[in-house]
Chain A
């Protein structure tokens, strides 16, 4: 399978639940990202991993916990979320950190609804 694959595609969770989002890329890229996409807002960069090391955390609340066990896999662990966390969570990868040379390859996203 090529490209960036995200699972699950849809997730409904209660505020007390714990769940995880998964992202996988088979492109040989070195950098991976989590973005949050909310209606009428620009994409918000959450976390950046380069060669599986976290290089950026954009003041994301601790209820979001990323994990990057290797350069091909990225997880976002969720716990005690709030309704305002409902959004489309996009994973992306790029050849190099920043994505400025070749651009990003995005997954299809996980539509998260917090009830």
Chain B
């Protein structure tokens, strides 16, 4: 069965610092991988997705993610965090059926 693990429930970073959010997945074939962001009181917004090809994927809002098959990981990164990035981030895997992780809440401090 497919699954997603986001080991960090909550992360705090300083504004301007770099960010990496971890995601590990379990999937029987070549995975379709996604990162979504949810601001307070809002639905989820797709940040980026990976199906195949270049393992470094660029997304919206300056985010990128790297697919590492050997580690079953799809970590999300941003070189310099802005206060507006404070939100909850969800990793997801799947095609016909998409499984979401439990999310990582990002706090940005001045």
Per DSSP, chain A at the interface is: loop
The answer to whether A42 touches B98, judged by C-beta atoms less than 8 angstroms apart, is: no
Contact indicator B43/A108 (Cβ below 8 Å)? yes
A98, A105, A108, A111: which contacts B98 (Cβ < 8 A)?
A98
Q: How far apart are the CA atoms of A101 and B33 in the complex, in Å? A: 10
Interface string of A4-29 (1 = CB under 8 A from B): 10100000000000000000000000
Q: How far is the CA of A4 from the CA of B46 in the complex (A)?
A: 13
B52 to chain A, nearest CB (A): 12
Q: B29 → chain A, closest Cβ, in Å?
A: 11
Instruction: Name the residue on B nearest A106 (C-beta).
Output: B43
Per-position binary interface string of chain B over residues 2-46, scored 1 when its CB falls under 8 Å from any chain A CB and 0 otherwise: 001000000000000000000000000000101010000111111
Please state if B46 and A98 are interface contacts (CB–CB under 8 Å): no
Q: State in angstroms the CA–CA spacing of A40 and B10 once bound together.
A: 11
Which A51-109 residues sit within 8 Å CB-CB of chain B? 90, 92, 97-109
Q: Is A43 an interface residue (CB 8 A)?
A: yes
Cα of A64 to Cα of B5 in the assembled complex, Å: 29
- Contacts A43-B90, A100-B32; is A106 near B98 (CB within 8 Å)? no
- A100 touching B98, Cβ below 8 Å: yes
Task: Name the residue among B43, B46, B90, B97 with the largest chain A CB count within 10 angstroms.
Answer: B43
Apart from the given pairs A45-B97, A103-B49, A109-B42, 4 other A-B contacts in the complex at a CB distance below 8 Å: A92-B43, A100-B32, A103-B46, A106-B36
Q: List 13 A-B contacts (CB under 8 A).
A: A42-B101, A42-B102, A45-B98, A92-B44, A97-B96, A100-B94, A100-B98, A101-B51, A105-B46, A106-B43, A108-B42, A108-B43, A109-B42
User: Interface residues, chain B, CB within 8 Å of chain A?
Assistant: 4, 32, 34, 36, 41-46, 49, 51, 90, 94-103
